[in-house]
Amino acid sequence: MKDLRRLIHSPHHLFVFEVCGRLQSFTRAANELGVSQPAVSLSIRQLEQAIGQPLFDRQHRRIRFTEAGEKLYTEVSSGFERILHRIQEINRQPQPALVTLSISTAFANYWIMPRLSGLHRAHPGIDLRLQVVDKDLDLEHENVSLGIRRGRGNWSGYESRSIAHEELLAVASPKYLEKNGTAKSPQQLLSHQFIHLEEPFRPRPKWIDWFNAMRVEFVDKDEGLRLNAYGLVLQAAMAGEGIALGWRHVVESLLQSKLLAPAVKQSWVTGEEFHLIWSDKTTLSASAQQVRDWIITEAKA
C-alpha cells in the first residue's frame, strides 16, 4: 500500500478515471462529478504521469481506452464494485438492539410517545430511534428498519401490516367549541374557521375532500390558517385557532384527554389505511421484529 500511495498521490484520481472510463467522456464525467471539465482532464493527466502510460486516446468529442487504460479500468471498476458491495452488506447489518422507525411528527408525538414507556417495559434492551420525516423514504436505501405509510399496502419491495383504517373527523379545542358551538351537521361547519394541512410531498385529504364525502359543497377561498406539518395543525387546533381534520388513530389520545373534541359527529372513512412497512429484501433484526410486533399489538388494542 505504501508503494501505491507513492505512485498515485490521490485516490480521487482513480474515482475520476472510473467515471471517465464508464462514460467515455471527460465532459459527461465532469457533469456526474460536479466539477469542471479541465479539473477532470488534470486528474487524468496526473494519473497518466504517475503510471507512465497514456490511459485514453483523446478524439473529437469522445475518448477511447488505450491498452493500458483498458487493463487498469478492469481492475479499478471491479475493485470499486467489490468495495461497494461489502459496504452495502455492512450497512444492512444494524446494531443488535438499535431500531429505526420512520414516521411523521404527529404520529411520533401523539401515537408513539404516549406508548413509549410500555415498549421500554416490555423490551428494555431496545434502542428505538424515531426518524421524523415529511416524505416517504426508501427504507432499504436509507437503512431504516420500519416505517409508516398511507395506502393500500401493495408497495413493491415491502412487506406491510395495516395498523389503522383512515378515518377523518372534524376536531377543535373544547374552548373553541364552547365559544362557537358544536355543529349539528357538516353543513353547519361551513361558518367556522378552518385549519388547513398543505403537505409538500405526500398527498393528504383536504377539507374539500372531506366535505365532498359529506355531500356538502365547499369552496376553498384561500382563507384560514395553512400549515405544512400535521403536528402544527393539531397544535393550532388545541390552541383554539379553528377546526382541523383529525386522523382518528392519531387524535384518539387527544380526544380522551379532552384537549380536542369532535366539532360534528359525522366522520369520513376514506378506504385508505395506514401500514407498518419493512423491506422484503433484508431480514429484520430480532429487535426490529419485536418493535414491529409491539406496534401491531398496540394498534389492535
3-54 pLDDT tens trace:
677 777 788 899 999 999 999 999 999 999 999 999 999 999 999 999 999 9
Assigned C-alpha cell, 84:
461497494
Instruction: For residue 51, give the CATH number of its domain.
Output: 1.10.10.10
Average pLDDT over every residue of 96-120: 88
pLDDT at position 1 is 60
pLDDT at position 135 is 78
Where among 75, 91, 107 does a domain terminate? 91
Is 222 found in the same domain as 179?
yes
Is 280 found in the same domain as 200?
no
Where among 57, 91, 125 does a domain terminate? 91
Q: How far is CA 133 from CA 92, 130, 231, 275, in A?
A: 21, 9, 12, 16
Is 124 found in the same domain as 25?
no
Average pLDDT over every residue of 267-283: 92
* Euclidean distance between CA atoms 188 and 173, whole angstroms: 17
> What Rg value do the Cα atoms of the chain yield, rounded?
28
Residue 95 scores a pLDDT above 70: no
Is 254 found in the same domain as 133?
no
Residue 90 scores a pLDDT above 80: no
268: left (phi over 0), alpha (psi -120 to 50) or beta: beta
* Euclidean distance between CA atoms 218 and 209, whole angstroms: 9
pLDDT at position 142 is 82
Is 203 found in the same domain as 282?
no
Query: Percent of the chain beyond pLDDT 90?
Result: 66
Residue 210 scores a pLDDT above 90: yes
Which range marks the domain in which residue 191 is found?
165-272
Instruction: For residue 178, give the CATH number of its domain.
Output: 3.40.190.10
Query: Percent of the chain beyond pLDDT 70?
Result: 97
DSSP 85-138: HHHHHHHTS--TTEEEEEE-HHHIIIIIGGGHHHHHHH-TT-EEEEEE-SS---
Is 284 found in the same domain as 136?
yes
Is 146 found in the same domain as 130?
yes
Is 283 found in the same domain as 158?
yes
- How many domains does the structure of the chain reveal? 3
Is 127 found in the same domain as 32?
no
Is 246 found in the same domain as 106?
no
pLDDT at position 26 is 92
Q: Is residue 2 very low, low, confident or very high in pLDDT (cuts 50, 70, 90)?
A: low
* CA–centroid distance for 10 within its chain: 35
Is 287 found in the same domain as 252?
no
pLDDT at position 91 is 73
Where among 61, 91, 121 does a domain terminate? 91
* Euclidean distance between CA atoms 233 and 227, whole angstroms: 6
pLDDT at position 134 is 75
Is 83 found in the same domain as 39?
yes
pLDDT at position 96 is 52
pLDDT at position 138 is 83
